[in-house]
Structure 1
Amino acid sequence: MTIVDDTTTPPCAYEPEIYLDELLHSPPARTDITAAEWDALTVKRATAHRQCAGCPLMVECLYRAVVEMDVSGYVACTTEWERQTIRRRLGIQVNQPTTAAYGAARVGGGPVSHEAVMTARQAYPKDTCHQLADRLGCSTSTIKRHLRRAREQKRDAALSPTLTPNLPTIDAVLDVFDELETSKVA
């Protein structure tokens, strides 16, 4: 008897540590790291990119990450910044659902304010999200949420006030993705 598994499991489920690497989420500037570190990052990104690009769910994953939900991290061969670029070119905005009902309240010093996170980021610009979370006594996801909020506020201020309410087609998202330098990697 042969058992056939019809389900498609994406590579990010098999090797999540590759896609959870903070350097893929927010790559450093080329001048901020050594040549050896840059080469290692390039190899890591090419590996993640090849696996993502070969995934049968890649197109759906890219569309959902660009149009439906603003996710964090390296998803569908793109970083958060690249997905924001695609959204900006398509003239769309993703509204995040409120997360107030999710998760347990922080025990101890109360919630971390947006200003506290932004002040810590300004004081320690080279710290990772994990290091900032340790400094402020909160979770890494809290830091990421506040940093994403700051980027969205900055982006929204730069965008024109009239955004198209119509959702783009998958082909439109793929066309803009193809224009990114990232789509040519690996």
Structure 2
Amino acid sequence: MTIVDETTTPPCAYEPDVYLDDLLHSPPARTDLSAADWERLTTKQAAAHRQCAGCPLMVECLYRAVVEMDVSGFVACTTESDRLAIRRRLGIEIHEPTTVAYGAARVGGGPVSHEAVMTARQAYPKDTCHQLADRLGCSTSTIKRHLRRARERKRDDALSPASAPARPSVADVLDVFDELESSRTA
């Protein structure tokens, strides 16, 4: 008797470092990299994109990352800015639940304030989240959390509370995804 395992493990589970690489979800400008570094980056982007696009969970992953939760990293062939563009186009608003902070406490000068993160972002707009975290002596997730909060505040200020859009279909999300320049990569 042969037992067949029907579970599918996505490529991001095998190589999480590839999909969480700051350069994939916040790529620097072409002029900021040497030709060799740019070639390595585009090769890495194309490889991650091909693996994502070939994953049987890609459609579900894309829908959840766009409609249900705000995630970091390269997810379902999209960057954070790609997913934000899809949400804007479809009128989707993500509200993260406010829960108790998790993870280890920061050792040293106490928590990093939202204002400190935003000031550092203005002073160093081309820095990756990792570089900003190094500058401020905190974790990358802290930087991402504060930047996400700033985006949400800006978005909340722009939207009226009466505009609660209906949840889009999978087909709606895929149609907007297909219009992205990044969906044609690889």
TM-score of the superposed pair, with normalisation by structure 2: 0.90
2:52 is equivalent to residue 52 of structure 1:
yes
Where does residue 84 of structure 2 map in the other structure? 84
8 Å Cα contact 1:63/1:173 also seen in 2? yes
Where does residue 115 of structure 2 map in the other structure? 115
Give the distance between the partners of 1:40 and 1:108, measured in 2 at CA. 36
Stretches of structure 1 that go unaligned for 5 or more consecutive residues are: none
* Displacement of 1:49: 0.5
Answer with 35-44 or 8-17: which moved more. 35-44
2:170 is equivalent to residue 170 of structure 1:
yes
Give the distance between the partners of 2:63 and 2:83, measured in 1 at CA. 10
Give the distance between the partners of 1:32 and 1:92, measured in 2 at CA. 33
Q: Deviations over 1:111-152 (max 9, x none)?
A: 111100111222233433223222222111001111222233
* Displacement of 1:33: 1.8
8 Å Cα contact 2:20/2:72 also seen in 1? no
Where does residue 147 of structure 1 map in the other structure? 147
Answer with 149-158 or 50-59: which moved more. 149-158
Stretches of structure 2 that go unaligned for 5 or more consecutive residues are: none
2:10 is equivalent to residue 10 of structure 1:
yes
The 3-state SS of whatever aligns with 2:98 is: coil
Give the distance between the partners of 2:40 and 2:4, measured in 1 at CA. 37
RMSD: 1.9
Q: Deviations over 1:59-101 (max 9, x none)?
A: 0000000000000111000000000000000011011111434
Q: Deviations over 1:143-176 (max 9, x none)?
A: 1111222233334445566534310000100010
Instruction: State the AA in 2 paired with 1:129.
Output: C
* Displacement of 1:19: 0.5
2:23 is equivalent to residue 23 of structure 1:
yes
Where does residue 36 of structure 1 map in the other structure? 36
8 Å Cα contact 2:78/2:182 also seen in 1? yes
CA 1:16 to 1:150, structure 2 compared with 1: closer, same or farther past 3 Å?
Answer: same
CA 1:39 to 1:157, structure 2 compared with 1: closer, same or farther past 3 Å?
Answer: farther
Q: Deviations over 1:18-68 (max 9, x none)?
A: 101110010112222222222211111110010000000000000000000
Give the distance between the partners of 1:88 and 1:163, measured in 2 at CA. 13
Where does residue 136 of structure 1 map in the other structure? 136
Give the distance between the partners of 2:124 and 2:172, measured in 1 at CA. 39
TM-score of the superposed pair, with normalisation by structure 1: 0.90
Identity, % of aligned positions:
81
Answer with 107-116 or 8-17: which moved more. 107-116
